Amino acid sequence: WSVAVTGNLDDCACDVETIDSFNNDQLFPKLQALLESDYFRFYKVTLNKPCPFWTSSSHCGLRDCAVKPCSPVICVCVQYSAEANEQQEECEKTNHLGAVDVSLSEETREALLDWSKYDDEAQRFCVVDDEDSPDSQYVDLLLNPERFTGYKGPEAWQIWNSIYEENCFKPYTVKRPLNPNSFPSSSGGEGQCVEKRAFYRLISGLHASINIHLSARYLLQDSWFQKKWGHNISEFKVRFDSELTAGEGPKRLRNLYFLYLIELRALAKALPFFQQHGIRLYTGRPEEDQKHKELLLEILQLAKSFPLHFDETSLFAGDEKEAAKLREDIRLSFLNISRIMDCVDCFKCRLWGKLQTQGLGTALKILFSERQIKALPVSSDHRPSFQLNRQEIVSLLNAFGRISTSIRELKNFRSLLAEDW
């Protein structure tokens, strides 16, 4: 099959096969278990922010683009109540905290309050939604899996186009009307510095991951009584086969592996923060919280044990002033990309787009804060200069979960393509 990616990745000492076996055999199963926990499945997000860059011409009416909402109260009510059914009914009658508050136990109310207090301590890097806004809502990620939605055409291209053209240091222009064939080569700009090339590859890797997910959870059958989701081999081939993409597909998959390495490295670097800061995965149920905290630490230790980590010291290694300017350029581009996510018409795509850019932004924040992490105070009496809030932690792990799942899906597609052959 001509979708194969093998061997060493550019700009690092790691190879695809080492990542495959590390991810698929060791990390992926543990990560899946963690992401199903209550702490990680609820993500707070504002989905109805207006697009700051252009007036959206279409309002996505696609059924599979809808996001099933979940107020924290509904989620928490269900999880805390001894009489789940009665409580659930009560919770579903309302959408806002105040009205349901009376139906909550003292313990639950305290949990919610504590949770938001904990969030407020944060120091921010990426554009994050105002969590106190009445428009901000908790979404149950397990109820809203990333999969095929049918979002495509000029609206989707406009997003990808403005990401690549305006924010990825790409030396190319796209003529109107938007033409997908005018998108750049997937190796990044030739002759660019390693940092800008790396940035481009991260975005391309994210794009590849989204397109793997929609091919792996494609709507195969849609009738009034049944919907069937599963792998669509031809969709995958159209996007990643070397012959069908003039050689670009495998390069995009290599960018996915590169993104994996960067996020893995960030997890490894964040280990001291989680160890020293006495992090609480607060849901109000101490036994479960402790179990998931141990699982999180196990995952971070595993990430640290990976033998062929990307060496980020090769980035921003030149002249100090120039390196600082370059870092700021990259930070601003990334902020812009996170704003563009509010222009995605399909809400389900917007949800996962926002989560994944925030997760990657958090990974970059960790990689660029090595000094602050090393200087973390041992005693919890001092306020540390490096912090991660709940939203950042949830997005970091879930975004990495998406990339890890994509790598695992490549294995599934390899088997399916071999059978197909």
Which parts are annotated binding residues for FAD? 147, 149, 160, 204, 207, 239
Which member of 60, 77, 126, 349 is catalytic?
Answer: 349
In the three-class reduction of DSSP (H, G, I as helix; E, B as strand; rest coil), residue 355 is classed as helix
In angstroms, the CA 311 to CA 13 distance is 9
- Computed on alpha carbons and rounded to an integer, the radius of gyration of the chain in Å comes to 22
At closest approach, how far in Å is the CB of 50 from ligand FAD?
16
Q: Closer to ligand FAD at the Cβ: 60 or 91? A: 60
Residue 80 or 160 with smaller CB distance to ligand FAD: 160
* Sign for the pseudo-dihedral over CA of 152, 16, 259, 354: positive
Spatial distance between the Cα atoms of 216 and 235, rounded to a whole number of angstroms: 9
Contacts (CB under 6 A) with ligand FAD, residues 133-162: 146, 148-149, 151-152, 156-157, 159-160
- Exactly one of 23, 87, 144, 211 binds ligand FAD (CB under 6 A); which one? 211
**Residue 352 touches ligand FAD, criterion: CB under 6 A:** yes
Residue 176 CB, nearest approach to ligand FAD (Å): 15
226's tokens: 């049944």
C-alpha span between 259 and 338 (Å, rounded): 17
Paired residues of 302 in beta bridges: none
Burial of 184 (0-12, 13-18, 19+ CB in 10 A): middle
| 349 included as an active-site residue | yes
Q: Give least dist CB 393 to ligand FAD, A.
A: 22
Tell me the number of residues near ligand FAD by CB under 6 A.
24
Q: Which stretch binds ligand FAD (CB under 6 A): 17-25, 32-40, 121-129, 206-214?
A: 206-214
- DSSP H helical ranges for 306-388: 320-340, 347-367, 370-374
Distances from the Cα of 139 to the Cαs of 44, 119, 136, in angstroms?
6, 16, 10
Would you count residue 53 as binding ligand FAD (CB under 6 A)? no
**214 counts as binding ligand FAD under rule CB under 6 A:** yes
Q: Which residues pair with 69 in a beta bridge?
A: 139
Question: Which residues, 163 to 192, sit near ligand FAD by CB under 6 A?
Answer: 180, 183, 186
Nearer to ligand FAD, 149 or 362 (CB): 149
Residue number, 71 or 161, with CB nearest to ligand FAD: 161
**Surface-to-core class of residue 171, CB atoms within 10 Å of its CB (0-12 exposed, 13-18 middle, 19+ buried):** exposed
Measured from the CB atom, is 76 or 168 closer to ligand FAD?
168
Beta bridge partners of 46: 136
Question: What does the block give as tokens for 364?
Answer: 């970059």
CA angle 254, 259, 265 (to 5 degrees): 125
Q: Which residue from 184, 257, 243, 188 is spatially nearest to 3, judged by alpha carbons?
A: 243
210: contact with ligand FAD by CB under 6 A: yes
Could you say which of 44, 196, 197, 207 contacts ligand FAD (CB under 6 A)?
207
Binding mask 252-291 for ligand FAD (x = CB under 6 A): x---------------------------------------
- DSSP bridge partners of 139: 43, 69
Told to check if 405 binds ligand FAD by CB under 6 A, we report no
Q: Give the nearest distance from C-beta 308 to ligand FAD in angstroms.
A: 23
Kind of pairing between the strands at 42-46 and 136-140? antiparallel
Please list every residue from 85 through 104 that binds ligand FAD, using CB under 6 A: none
From the list 39-47, 68-76, 331-339, 344-352, the region that binds ligand FAD by CB under 6 A is 344-352
Instruction: Find where tokens 């995958």 sit.
Output: 236
* Sole window of 115-123, 202-210, 320-328, 378-386 interacting with ligand FAD (rule: CB under 6 A): 202-210
Regarding 330 and contact with ligand FAD (CB under 6 A), the answer is: no
168 is catalytic: no
The correct pick among 198, 208, 267, 355 for binding ligand FAD (CB under 6 A) is 208
The closest of 276, 336, 283, 312 to 41, measured between CA atoms, is 283
Residue 10 corresponds to which tokens in the numbers above? 């550019």
Positions annotated as catalytic residues are 346, 349
In the complex, the residues that contact ligand FAD under the rule CB under 6 A are 146, 148-149, 151-152, 156-157, 159-160, 180, 183, 186, 204, 207-208, 210-211, 214, 252, 344, 348-349, 352-353
